[in-house]
Chain A
């Protein structure tokens, strides 16, 4: 179960990266543009298809994914590990959620670097929604003791 305290964190305009791996255990890093809490076991996240083909191929092969979310201002960070449940082109509701994320992330980046518009330069055509079943959560804020497991299902 994803503790309810994570709902707002997951839905916030954080920096996000995803890790996958192929059959030879070669890792792949991917940029994620938004995530949403779905229910006590699932979150969804958004990524563009054209620049993430290798990751999507990895997910079709084995489904294993890790997602790290970081508050770009405070560096507060959590990693979610689990499995892909589904991937599909975004619905209108998801496009609205994505637009909300991009606006919020743009504001965060503008506050940090005084450079508005940066997230909109990231490739974001042909967006997909990935649904993830969360199996483990790790605290990853940079400080002594980081890496503590918060949740195991």
Chain B
């Protein structure tokens, strides 16, 4: 299976910019939450930091599908990743690496006392859509800073 996650996307998984995670309950109610980490595992898997998102995880247990946005802090490209839940890890090299990254994010945000990694939730990447940035001269505010 060829990798869906490209080199271009990896900076968007540095934790610099929070990601939007959408899940859906069995009775069809979408839930959206900001999360700190979408962590690169391999070309077809990511791990999401499980800190607070109890509702998201309840939805995942009912319906394993999810969709997450990632945004590059380099050029502000955005991608949407369609995901399917694979497994939970609460120890091991991946969990430790995510813990270290989350501590750095918490320091950056002044949330050292708040952020605590409960688990690494690992998802298979099913599809990737690039949203991109605008070069459209018809955009209302193109080029404005």
Contact = CB atoms under 8 A, between A and B. Distances in A.
7 contacts: A17-B69, A19-B24, A27-B24, A28-B22, A123-B136, A138-B55, A142-B34
B119 interface: no
A19 B63 CA distance: 15
Interface string B110-136: 010011000000000000000111101
Interface of A: 15, 17-21, 25-29, 31, 51, 62, 64-68, 70, 75, 77, 79, 81, 95, 98-99, 102, 106, 113, 116-118, 120-125, 127, 138, 140, 142-144, 146-147
Per DSSP, chain A at the interface is: mixed
A123 B134 contact: yes
B67 A26 contact: yes
B31 A19 contact: yes
Contacts of B132: 51, 123
Contact of A29 (B51, B67, B115, B139): B67
Contacts of B54: 147
Given A17-B69, A124-B134, A147-B55, A25 B141 contact: no
B47 interface: no
Contacts of A144: 114
B34 A27 contact: no
B34 A64 contact: no
Interface residues of B, number: 47
A143 B141 contact: no
Contacts of A147: 52, 54-55
Question: Can you list the 6 inter-chain pairs with the closest CB atoms, starting with the nearest?
Answer: A17-B20, A19-B32, A19-B22, A117-B145, A19-B30, A27-B22
B65 interface: yes
A28 B67 contact: yes
Interface string B89-112: 000000000000000000001010
A44 to B, nearest CB: 17
B24 A25 contact: yes
Given A99-B140, A124-B134, A143-B114, A118 B76 contact: yes
Contact of A142 (B51, B73, B141): B51
